[in-house]
Structure 1
Amino acid sequence: MSKKFLMAGILAGTLLLGVVVVNAQEVSGLFQSKKNKYEDLLEQTPVFTEAELTDGDATVDELREPYQLTEKELAELSTEELAELVLAYPYLMDIYTFNSLHEGMQAVRARYNGLEELLSRKDSAVVLTKLYQEKTTKLSEKTTEFDFTIEYLEVLLAQEEFQTNRAEISKVVAEASNKKELSDVYVGSMATYGSVLEEQGLVQ
Protein backbone atom coordinates (compact mmCIF):
# COMPACT_ATOMS: atom_id res chain seq x y z
CA MET A 1 0.00 0.00 0.00
CA SER A 2 1.58 3.28 -1.10
CA LYS A 3 1.81 6.09 1.41
CA LYS A 4 0.95 9.71 0.66
CA PHE A 5 1.56 12.76 2.76
CA LEU A 6 -1.36 15.16 2.82
CA MET A 7 0.83 18.21 3.15
CA ALA A 8 -1.99 20.69 2.98
CA GLY A 9 -3.73 19.08 5.92
CA ILE A 10 -0.57 18.74 7.99
CA LEU A 11 0.52 22.29 7.34
CA ALA A 12 -2.95 23.68 7.96
CA GLY A 13 -3.00 21.91 11.31
CA THR A 14 0.39 23.31 12.17
CA LEU A 15 -0.70 26.83 11.29
CA LEU A 16 -3.97 26.49 13.18
CA LEU A 17 -2.16 25.40 16.34
CA GLY A 18 0.79 27.68 15.82
CA VAL A 19 -0.60 31.18 15.46
CA VAL A 20 0.49 33.61 18.15
CA VAL A 21 -1.39 36.85 18.75
CA VAL A 22 0.73 39.97 18.57
CA ASN A 23 0.33 41.93 21.80
CA ALA A 24 0.30 45.38 20.22
CA GLN A 25 -3.06 47.13 20.19
CA GLU A 26 -2.75 47.53 16.46
CA VAL A 27 -0.73 45.52 13.97
CA SER A 28 0.80 47.12 10.93
CA GLY A 29 -0.83 46.90 7.53
CA LEU A 30 2.31 45.20 6.26
CA PHE A 31 2.04 42.49 8.90
CA GLN A 32 -1.63 41.82 8.16
CA SER A 33 -0.90 41.69 4.45
CA LYS A 34 1.89 39.13 4.91
CA LYS A 35 -0.22 37.11 7.35
CA ASN A 36 -3.07 36.96 4.85
CA LYS A 37 -0.64 35.92 2.12
CA TYR A 38 0.71 33.07 4.27
CA GLU A 39 -2.83 31.83 4.87
CA ASP A 40 -3.70 32.03 1.15
CA LEU A 41 -0.53 30.15 0.18
CA LEU A 42 -1.32 27.45 2.72
CA GLU A 43 -4.73 26.82 1.19
CA GLN A 44 -3.07 26.31 -2.21
CA THR A 45 -0.52 23.74 -0.99
CA PRO A 46 -0.90 20.59 -3.11
CA VAL A 47 -0.65 16.95 -2.08
CA PHE A 48 2.73 15.24 -2.55
CA THR A 49 3.65 11.60 -2.71
CA GLU A 50 6.23 10.20 -0.30
CA ALA A 51 8.72 9.89 -3.18
CA GLU A 52 8.34 13.56 -4.12
CA LEU A 53 8.99 14.64 -0.55
CA THR A 54 11.95 12.37 0.18
CA ASP A 55 13.63 12.85 -3.22
CA GLY A 56 13.78 16.62 -2.78
CA ASP A 57 11.56 17.37 -5.77
CA ALA A 58 12.19 20.90 -7.05
CA THR A 59 8.49 21.71 -6.84
CA VAL A 60 8.57 21.22 -3.07
CA ASP A 61 11.45 23.70 -2.73
CA GLU A 62 9.71 26.19 -4.99
CA LEU A 63 6.74 26.27 -2.62
CA ARG A 64 8.91 27.88 0.05
CA GLU A 65 9.92 30.81 -2.14
CA PRO A 66 6.68 32.87 -1.86
CA TYR A 67 7.11 33.00 1.92
CA GLN A 68 10.38 34.93 1.67
CA LEU A 69 10.33 38.52 2.88
CA THR A 70 11.78 41.48 1.00
CA GLU A 71 14.49 43.63 2.57
CA LYS A 72 11.94 46.41 3.01
CA GLU A 73 9.52 44.08 4.77
CA LEU A 74 12.23 42.74 7.05
CA ALA A 75 13.15 46.31 8.02
CA GLU A 76 9.56 47.42 8.67
CA LEU A 77 8.21 44.45 10.63
CA SER A 78 8.47 44.71 14.41
CA THR A 79 10.14 41.81 16.17
CA GLU A 80 6.78 40.78 17.63
CA GLU A 81 5.25 40.68 14.16
CA LEU A 82 8.25 38.88 12.69
CA ALA A 83 8.06 36.25 15.44
CA GLU A 84 4.43 35.56 14.64
CA LEU A 85 5.17 35.20 10.93
CA VAL A 86 8.02 32.79 11.64
CA LEU A 87 5.79 30.67 13.89
CA ALA A 88 3.11 30.69 11.19
CA TYR A 89 5.62 29.62 8.51
CA PRO A 90 4.34 26.12 7.61
CA TYR A 91 7.74 24.74 6.62
CA LEU A 92 9.06 25.37 10.11
CA MET A 93 7.93 21.78 10.65
CA ASP A 94 10.90 20.74 8.49
CA ILE A 95 13.00 20.85 11.68
CA TYR A 96 11.64 17.38 12.47
CA THR A 97 13.09 15.85 9.29
CA PHE A 98 16.77 16.14 10.28
CA ASN A 99 19.03 14.18 12.63
CA SER A 100 18.55 16.74 15.39
CA LEU A 101 16.23 19.68 16.04
CA HIS A 102 19.17 22.09 16.07
CA GLU A 103 20.33 20.81 12.69
CA GLY A 104 16.78 21.12 11.42
CA MET A 105 16.45 24.69 12.68
CA GLN A 106 19.70 25.67 10.97
CA ALA A 107 18.50 24.09 7.72
CA VAL A 108 15.22 26.01 7.84
CA ARG A 109 17.14 29.16 8.70
CA ALA A 110 19.20 28.77 5.54
CA ARG A 111 16.03 28.50 3.43
CA TYR A 112 13.82 31.13 5.07
CA ASN A 113 15.05 34.69 5.55
CA GLY A 114 12.35 35.51 8.10
CA LEU A 115 13.93 33.07 10.53
CA GLU A 116 17.43 34.32 9.77
CA GLU A 117 16.31 37.87 10.54
CA LEU A 118 14.56 36.85 13.76
CA LEU A 119 17.63 35.04 15.10
CA SER A 120 19.83 38.03 14.31
CA ARG A 121 17.78 40.70 16.12
CA LYS A 122 19.02 41.87 19.52
CA ASP A 123 15.55 41.93 21.10
CA SER A 124 14.42 38.53 19.81
CA ALA A 125 15.36 36.67 23.00
CA VAL A 126 13.13 38.95 25.07
CA VAL A 127 10.25 38.80 22.59
CA LEU A 128 10.38 35.02 22.19
CA THR A 129 10.71 34.43 25.93
CA LYS A 130 7.64 36.57 26.54
CA LEU A 131 5.66 34.67 23.89
CA TYR A 132 6.72 31.35 25.40
CA GLN A 133 5.76 32.51 28.89
CA GLU A 134 2.35 33.71 27.70
CA LYS A 135 1.57 30.47 25.90
CA THR A 136 2.73 28.14 28.66
CA THR A 137 0.92 30.15 31.32
CA LYS A 138 -2.34 29.20 29.61
CA LEU A 139 -1.63 25.47 29.86
CA SER A 140 -3.65 23.50 32.38
CA GLU A 141 -4.76 19.97 33.14
CA LYS A 142 -7.72 20.66 30.87
CA THR A 143 -5.51 21.28 27.84
CA THR A 144 -6.38 18.66 25.22
CA GLU A 145 -4.48 19.78 22.11
CA PHE A 146 -0.72 19.92 21.66
CA ASP A 147 0.47 23.38 20.61
CA PHE A 148 3.48 22.92 18.34
CA THR A 149 4.48 26.57 18.71
CA ILE A 150 5.52 25.88 22.29
CA GLU A 151 8.04 23.32 21.05
CA TYR A 152 9.09 25.62 18.20
CA LEU A 153 9.72 28.36 20.75
CA GLU A 154 11.82 26.02 22.91
CA VAL A 155 13.99 25.15 19.91
CA LEU A 156 14.35 28.82 19.01
CA LEU A 157 15.17 29.88 22.55
CA ALA A 158 17.84 27.18 22.81
CA GLN A 159 19.84 28.63 19.91
CA GLU A 160 23.37 29.87 20.62
CA GLU A 161 22.48 33.42 19.55
CA PHE A 162 20.60 33.84 22.82
CA GLN A 163 23.39 32.79 25.22
CA THR A 164 23.51 36.28 26.72
CA ASN A 165 19.92 35.77 27.93
CA ARG A 166 20.42 32.10 28.87
CA ALA A 167 19.80 32.45 32.61
CA GLU A 168 16.47 34.22 32.21
CA ILE A 169 15.32 31.94 29.38
CA SER A 170 16.19 28.81 31.35
CA LYS A 171 14.34 30.15 34.39
CA VAL A 172 11.16 30.73 32.36
CA VAL A 173 11.36 27.32 30.68
CA ALA A 174 11.94 25.59 34.03
CA GLU A 175 8.91 27.31 35.53
CA ALA A 176 6.77 26.13 32.62
CA SER A 177 7.98 22.52 32.71
CA ASN A 178 7.50 22.33 36.49
CA LYS A 179 3.83 23.31 36.38
CA LYS A 180 1.92 20.76 38.47
CA GLU A 181 -1.29 21.40 36.60
CA LEU A 182 0.04 20.29 33.20
CA SER A 183 -2.25 17.91 31.36
CA ASP A 184 -1.14 14.51 30.09
CA VAL A 185 -0.75 16.14 26.66
CA TYR A 186 2.36 17.96 27.92
CA VAL A 187 3.74 15.85 30.75
CA GLY A 188 7.11 14.54 29.60
CA SER A 189 7.02 16.55 26.37
CA MET A 190 8.61 19.80 27.54
CA ALA A 191 12.25 18.74 27.56
CA THR A 192 12.96 20.02 24.06
CA TYR A 193 14.77 23.14 25.24
CA GLY A 194 17.33 21.20 27.26
CA SER A 195 17.80 18.63 24.50
CA VAL A 196 18.61 21.28 21.89
CA LEU A 197 21.08 22.94 24.27
CA GLU A 198 22.82 19.61 24.70
CA GLU A 199 22.95 19.09 20.93
CA GLN A 200 25.02 22.28 20.73
CA GLY A 201 27.14 21.58 23.80
CA LEU A 202 25.60 24.51 25.64
CA VAL A 203 24.86 24.67 29.35
CA GLN A 204 21.57 25.90 30.83
Structure 2
Amino acid sequence: MSIRVLVADDHAAVRAGIVLILGGHDDIEVVGEAADGEQAVAMAVRERPDVVLMDIRMPKLDGISATRELSGIADVLILTTFDIDEYVFGALRAGAAGFLLKNTDADALVEAVRVVARGDGLISPSVTRRLISAFGSAVPQRHPQEVGNLTPREREVLECIGRGLSNAQIARELDMAEATTKTHVSRLLNKLGLRSRVQAAILAQELSTGTGDGDHPALR
Protein backbone atom coordinates (compact mmCIF):
# COMPACT_ATOMS: atom_id res chain seq x y z
CA MET A 1 0.00 0.00 0.00
CA SER A 2 1.34 3.44 -0.93
CA ILE A 3 2.18 6.11 1.64
CA ARG A 4 -0.34 8.92 1.16
CA VAL A 5 1.35 12.33 1.41
CA LEU A 6 0.00 15.88 1.50
CA VAL A 7 2.46 18.67 0.64
CA ALA A 8 1.85 22.06 2.29
CA ASP A 9 4.01 25.02 1.23
CA ASP A 10 3.08 28.54 0.15
CA HIS A 11 5.63 28.56 -2.69
CA ALA A 12 4.27 26.80 -5.78
CA ALA A 13 7.75 26.06 -7.15
CA VAL A 14 8.79 24.38 -3.90
CA ARG A 15 5.61 22.28 -3.84
CA ALA A 16 6.21 21.24 -7.45
CA GLY A 17 9.77 20.20 -6.66
CA ILE A 18 8.71 18.12 -3.65
CA VAL A 19 5.92 16.47 -5.61
CA LEU A 20 8.37 15.66 -8.40
CA ILE A 21 10.79 14.05 -5.93
CA LEU A 22 8.12 11.99 -4.17
CA GLY A 23 6.30 11.07 -7.37
CA GLY A 24 9.27 9.10 -8.59
CA HIS A 25 8.74 6.40 -5.97
CA ASP A 26 6.13 3.64 -6.32
CA ASP A 27 5.51 3.42 -2.58
CA ILE A 28 4.53 7.10 -2.22
CA GLU A 29 1.39 8.84 -3.51
CA VAL A 30 0.91 12.61 -3.27
CA VAL A 31 -2.79 13.07 -2.54
CA GLY A 32 -2.88 16.86 -2.35
CA GLU A 33 -1.08 20.20 -2.33
CA ALA A 34 -1.90 23.07 0.01
CA ALA A 35 -0.75 26.69 -0.27
CA ASP A 36 -1.46 27.68 3.35
CA GLY A 37 -2.09 26.18 6.75
CA GLU A 38 -5.87 26.41 6.63
CA GLN A 39 -5.92 24.63 3.30
CA ALA A 40 -3.57 21.97 4.67
CA VAL A 41 -5.83 21.21 7.64
CA ALA A 42 -9.01 21.09 5.52
CA MET A 43 -7.37 18.91 2.90
CA ALA A 44 -5.89 16.55 5.51
CA VAL A 45 -9.30 16.10 7.15
CA ARG A 46 -10.76 15.25 3.75
CA GLU A 47 -7.97 13.12 2.27
CA ARG A 48 -6.62 11.47 5.47
CA PRO A 49 -2.97 11.31 4.34
CA ASP A 50 -0.44 9.25 6.27
CA VAL A 51 2.10 12.09 6.28
CA VAL A 52 1.82 15.86 5.85
CA LEU A 53 4.98 17.62 4.67
CA MET A 54 4.49 21.00 6.31
CA ASP A 55 6.26 24.32 5.85
CA ILE A 56 6.29 26.64 8.87
CA ARG A 57 5.91 30.15 7.45
CA MET A 58 2.60 30.14 5.57
CA PRO A 59 -0.30 32.60 5.28
CA LYS A 60 -3.66 32.33 7.09
CA LEU A 61 -2.42 29.60 9.45
CA ASP A 62 1.24 28.89 10.16
CA GLY A 63 2.68 25.39 10.03
CA ILE A 64 3.03 25.02 13.78
CA SER A 65 -0.63 25.91 14.42
CA ALA A 66 -1.68 23.63 11.57
CA THR A 67 0.40 20.80 13.05
CA ARG A 68 -1.39 21.23 16.37
CA GLU A 69 -4.77 20.95 14.63
CA LEU A 70 -3.70 17.80 12.79
CA SER A 71 -2.97 15.84 15.96
CA GLY A 72 -4.62 12.45 15.58
CA ILE A 73 -5.37 13.03 11.90
CA ALA A 74 -1.95 12.65 10.25
CA ASP A 75 1.73 12.53 11.12
CA VAL A 76 3.43 15.83 10.33
CA LEU A 77 6.96 16.16 8.98
CA ILE A 78 8.10 19.77 9.13
CA LEU A 79 10.17 20.84 6.12
CA THR A 80 11.48 24.39 6.44
CA THR A 81 14.26 26.75 5.45
CA PHE A 82 14.54 28.16 8.95
CA ASP A 83 16.88 26.49 11.45
CA ILE A 84 15.55 28.50 14.39
CA ASP A 85 15.13 27.12 17.91
CA GLU A 86 11.71 28.72 18.29
CA TYR A 87 10.46 26.87 15.21
CA VAL A 88 12.09 23.56 16.12
CA PHE A 89 10.75 23.49 19.66
CA GLY A 90 7.39 24.92 18.68
CA ALA A 91 6.87 22.30 16.01
CA LEU A 92 7.79 19.42 18.30
CA ARG A 93 5.61 20.75 21.13
CA ALA A 94 2.76 20.95 18.61
CA GLY A 95 3.20 17.24 17.90
CA ALA A 96 5.34 17.10 14.75
CA ALA A 97 6.82 13.67 14.16
CA GLY A 98 9.88 15.09 12.43
CA PHE A 99 11.78 18.25 11.53
CA LEU A 100 13.91 18.64 8.39
CA LEU A 101 15.54 21.54 6.60
CA LYS A 102 14.88 22.20 2.93
CA ASN A 103 18.54 21.67 2.09
CA THR A 104 17.98 17.97 2.80
CA ASP A 105 18.81 15.95 -0.31
CA ALA A 106 16.10 14.14 -2.26
CA ASP A 107 16.95 10.63 -1.09
CA ALA A 108 16.97 11.71 2.56
CA LEU A 109 13.62 13.45 2.15
CA VAL A 110 12.03 10.34 0.66
CA GLU A 111 13.44 8.17 3.44
CA ALA A 112 12.19 10.66 6.05
CA VAL A 113 8.66 10.30 4.69
CA ARG A 114 8.97 6.53 4.99
CA VAL A 115 10.34 6.76 8.53
CA VAL A 116 7.51 9.01 9.73
CA ALA A 117 4.91 6.84 7.95
CA ARG A 118 6.22 3.86 9.94
CA GLY A 119 5.45 5.73 13.14
CA ASP A 120 9.02 6.68 13.97
CA GLY A 121 10.38 10.16 14.68
CA LEU A 122 13.11 11.96 12.78
CA ILE A 123 15.05 15.16 13.46
CA SER A 124 17.53 16.88 11.15
CA PRO A 125 21.07 16.12 12.40
CA SER A 126 21.90 19.83 12.47
CA VAL A 127 19.36 20.49 15.22
CA THR A 128 19.61 17.26 17.23
CA ARG A 129 22.31 18.49 19.63
CA ARG A 130 20.38 21.65 20.46
CA LEU A 131 17.23 19.60 20.89
CA ILE A 132 18.84 17.28 23.41
CA SER A 133 20.33 20.15 25.44
CA ALA A 134 17.39 22.56 25.40
CA PHE A 135 14.08 20.92 24.55
CA GLY A 136 13.79 18.76 27.64
CA SER A 137 12.92 21.75 29.81
CA ALA A 138 10.13 22.71 27.41
CA VAL A 139 8.27 19.41 27.84
CA PRO A 140 5.67 19.47 30.62
CA GLN A 141 7.00 17.52 33.59
CA ARG A 142 5.16 14.27 34.20
CA HIS A 143 4.50 13.06 37.71
CA PRO A 144 5.91 9.55 38.33
CA GLN A 145 2.36 8.38 39.05
CA GLU A 146 1.45 9.10 35.43
CA VAL A 147 4.24 6.81 34.29
CA GLY A 148 2.99 4.31 36.86
CA ASN A 149 -0.27 4.10 34.93
CA LEU A 150 1.58 2.45 32.05
CA THR A 151 1.55 -1.31 31.71
CA PRO A 152 4.90 -3.10 32.19
CA ARG A 153 5.17 -3.56 28.42
CA GLU A 154 4.41 0.12 27.77
CA ARG A 155 7.15 1.09 30.22
CA GLU A 156 9.57 -1.15 28.34
CA VAL A 157 8.58 0.51 25.08
CA LEU A 158 9.00 3.98 26.60
CA GLU A 159 12.49 3.07 27.79
CA CYS A 160 13.37 1.91 24.28
CA ILE A 161 12.04 5.14 22.79
CA GLY A 162 14.27 7.04 25.20
CA ARG A 163 17.24 5.15 23.80
CA GLY A 164 16.33 6.31 20.31
CA LEU A 165 15.15 2.95 18.97
CA SER A 166 12.77 2.85 16.02
CA ASN A 167 9.55 0.80 16.11
CA ALA A 168 11.25 -1.97 14.14
CA GLN A 169 14.18 -2.05 16.56
CA ILE A 170 11.86 -2.06 19.57
CA ALA A 171 9.89 -4.93 18.05
CA ARG A 172 13.07 -6.97 17.64
CA GLU A 173 14.38 -6.19 21.11
CA LEU A 174 11.09 -6.96 22.86
CA ASP A 175 10.22 -9.88 20.55
CA MET A 176 6.87 -8.65 19.29
CA ALA A 177 5.30 -7.57 16.01
CA GLU A 178 6.02 -4.06 14.74
CA ALA A 179 2.28 -3.38 14.54
CA THR A 180 2.00 -4.26 18.22
CA THR A 181 4.83 -1.86 18.98
CA LYS A 182 3.00 0.95 17.21
CA THR A 183 -0.09 0.20 19.29
CA HIS A 184 1.91 0.39 22.53
CA VAL A 185 3.49 3.68 21.44
CA SER A 186 0.09 5.18 20.64
CA ARG A 187 -1.38 4.07 23.97
CA LEU A 188 1.50 5.34 26.09
CA LEU A 189 1.45 8.73 24.35
CA ASN A 190 -2.26 8.99 25.08
CA LYS A 191 -1.85 7.99 28.73
CA LEU A 192 0.97 10.49 29.28
CA GLY A 193 -0.73 13.30 27.38
CA LEU A 194 2.14 13.58 24.88
CA ARG A 195 1.77 14.55 21.23
CA SER A 196 4.73 12.71 19.71
CA ARG A 197 7.36 10.05 20.30
CA VAL A 198 9.98 12.81 20.39
CA GLN A 199 8.35 14.15 23.54
CA ALA A 200 8.20 10.59 24.87
CA ALA A 201 11.92 10.15 24.24
CA ILE A 202 12.71 13.30 26.20
CA LEU A 203 10.48 12.20 29.07
CA ALA A 204 12.22 8.80 29.16
CA GLN A 205 15.59 10.54 29.31
CA GLU A 206 14.38 12.77 32.15
CA LEU A 207 13.36 9.66 34.09
CA SER A 208 16.73 8.07 33.54
CA THR A 209 19.33 8.07 36.28
CA GLY A 210 21.68 9.72 33.78
CA THR A 211 24.28 7.00 34.29
CA GLY A 212 24.18 6.04 30.59
CA ASP A 213 23.70 2.37 31.43
CA GLY A 214 20.10 2.30 30.23
CA ASP A 215 18.73 1.79 33.76
CA HIS A 216 15.42 3.64 34.12
CA PRO A 217 14.10 2.99 37.67
CA ALA A 218 10.96 5.08 37.10
CA LEU A 219 10.09 2.92 34.11
CA ARG A 220 10.18 -0.38 35.92
Q: One fold, TM greater than 0.5?
A: no
TM-score, normalising length: structure 1: 0.32
- Tell me which of the two structures has the higher relative contact order, counting C-alpha pairs closer than 8 angstroms and 6 or more residues apart: 1
